[in-house]
Amino acid sequence: MAIFDYAPAPESSAIVDIRPSYGLFIGGEFVDGDSDSGRFKTVNPATEEPLAEIVDASPGDVDRAVAAARHAYDRVWSRMPGKDRAKYLFRIARLIQERSRELAVLESIDNGKPIRESRDVDIPLVAAHFFYYAGWADKLRYAGFGDDPRPIGVAGQVIPWNFPMLMLAWKIAPALAAGNTVVLKPAETTPLTALAFADICQQADLPPGVVNIVTGAGDTGRAVVEHADVDKVAFTGSTEVGRAIAKAVAGTRKRITLELGGKAANIVFEDAAIDQAVEGIVNGIFFNQGHVCCAGSRLLVQESVADELLDSLRRRMTRLRLGDPLDKNTDIGAINSAVQLARIRELSEVGAREGAEPWSPPCDLPARGFWFAPTIYTGVSQAHRIAREEIFGPVLAVLTFRTPAEAVEKANNTPYGLSAGVWTEKGSRILAIADRLRAGVVWANTFNKFDPASPFGGYKESGYGREGGRHGLEAYLAH
């Protein structure tokens, strides 16, 4: 069969105006960091070219941001009727839609993900979350958390680099709808869309101090989380950092929500539609270069169809296009940073040394930037590190099973419990298996599907609490 060659179809970067340097967004204005703050550069992971100079906020900067959030909470936002808060959220959602092309291009430049993902998935979901929680702002008494739910206060939020704008929406939208104010710290490698959101807050005339954005690395995030005047902590990121945050807030009055790592099992039974399952497997592990906490990084396939499915999967992988994130034909973009690329390479090499067999399609990697070819490992046992540890990259570990009981046992044999997928034509089997899987989200004959009305979260080392849906309001309400 002939393979079509795709002509380049680049999205123009001219729509984005990246400033040479950015300040912090505190009290409704962009301000300079104090004398103790430093500066660092964010880079384009596809080219390694510097994009902008960013403030590395100091504890003093965080103090200013929390004070601004507290003032806005006490004087304006907590006193504002829900229907009026909703107007601001609706306005923000509409501005995100109006600026969607700009935000999608900026996200792909700063993060490395393909433009078709940021354009067709991330940014539409960002707007949808603000629309959804705008609808809840004047209906909180009907959310199921008491007749008189009240906001908590100031929320300190720390988000990761894999879905910068979407994680911002997951955190900020419910917090504001519930009447809280926010101090948010984006990841140090992907701060630009958060700073663009600050501009949207100004454009929406959001009262000063309701949203504050402080950029920086781990020390800045620690200052936000440990600040004495922060009432609620929300974190998405690694399990290691999540443990440290849990220890830091233990014994305090602070509420906490943690959405951490995962090692999801994608379970394919012999009666599944093979071609459909292959598309779900590809989406489950190669979407966003595998930089997904709920990625289907373990494939459990029934022995009787394993060879057929793997042949189909390899054929499908030869059609994946790796390259320029701004090319609309690109399926797999750049790895977000040199640090993450080194982590992926390390665990992949360990997998080969432990006896698993790697396979990648023919793939020309660009000379500059951070790139890793999509890879599957067969001959994997449950003892292999690639079957146990979160790689957070485009690497799939393939295991087999014979019976449904064995599939469930292998799927649950992980310290994580964020998500899973089940592929079968039998509805009764879907329900039976899903009921036995220790995972916060179970997809049936699909994978990586999200909706703002649906809660998301995990068990065990994948964290606790839920984001999305009415359940996402609970952690931001006193009831």
How many whole angstroms separate alpha carbon 434 and alpha carbon 442?
6
Please tell me which residue in 107, 259, 389, 390 is annotated as part of the active site.
259
Q: Are 152 and 179 in contact (CB under 8 A)?
A: no
How many whole angstroms separate alpha carbon 295 and alpha carbon 240?
18
Nearest CA to 397 out of 406, 389, 405 is that of 389
Nearest CA to 34 out of 12, 9, 67, 7 is that of 67
How many whole angstroms separate alpha carbon 261 and alpha carbon 290?
12
Beta bridge partners of 302: 401
Going from the C-alpha of 276 to that of each of 312, 385, 425, the distances in angstroms are 11, 29, 11
Catalytic residue flag (residue 259): yes
Please tell me which residue in 201, 293, 294, 389 is annotated as part of the active site.
293
- For the annotated catalytic residues, the residue numbers are 259, 293
